[in-house]
Structure 1
Amino acid sequence: MKSILLLMSICLLPFSASAGVYKWVDANGQTHFGDRPPAQAGSSEVAVDARPAEVDAMARQRHQKMTEFVEQQQAERQARQAADAKAEKAAREQAEQCRELRARLKFLASVSTFYHLNDQGERVFVSEAENRRIRDDFRSKVKDQCGSN
């Protein structure tokens, strides 16, 4: 029973929501409009065309341009954020690589002489000139990749 009453009230809701517009002329000859008819004067109901207002072509065009502008700005912002993230990642990787290179350079300074292993697995020590060349080459590599810091 309650569901039937609820269904009927939902069905009748549009009729109550679309209240009429009434027109009447008062004793002074002025025309009035209202949503309820007056008690002391005769009135007539006015038909109101309740269609939604149409948007003119210029307004649609402005709206379309504004939408395109907002979408373009959003795409540019996303591209900048992606580029910034990529640059930040590259900077972190560069900093890590420089940290490792500087640690190796410090280690090379602590080594007295370098050697190679021959085919028999024996150590063959390099000359002092070769030691200097190895250190100088690595030092210039660190300077090129990481600067003078």
Structure 2
Amino acid sequence: MIPIFLLNIALAVAWAALTGNITLGGLLVGFVLGSLCLYVTRPLYPGCDSYFRRAGKWAKLIVLFLYELVVSSLQVVWDVLTPAHKSRPGIISVPLTVRRELDVLLVTNLITLTPGTLSLDVTDDGKTLYIHAMFADDPDEIRRQITEGMERWVIEATE
């Protein structure tokens, strides 16, 4: 049996080829349309419900990350443009609950991509992450935000 994801990719490529729009946008439109077609015909593909459940969790991770990206960007821009700087940089250790290397990699990259934070190091045992935060007034709050935010979203998307 063909994995549903590969079938979705094939539908996206077919859509792009049929429309003559072989660009990233054309492939994305084809992927979305292919996903809708596969969702409508999911009774024909046993076991595909986990694909759509996982795709929903990945979509949630992407949307929540983009929200965090916008909010933190605005916070950094505001601090740079206003005369009174509120940034209090610091290095914070964050205990990690993720254990797989892929999950640790994803969490650290999402933190680094968010303005105002930077992943510095992960201990050899993978249990502690060191980050540099631009606004480190309350280290416990930052730890909570990472644990209940990005780390939880990554666990949900990759489980």
Same-fold call, TM cutoff 0.5: no
TM-score interval w.r.t. the shorter chain? under 0.3
Q: Which has the larger radius of gyration?
A: 1
Q: Normalising by the residue count of structure 1, what TM-score does the alignment of the two structures yield?
A: 0.27
Q: Normalising by the residue count of structure 2, what TM-score does the alignment of the two structures yield?
A: 0.25
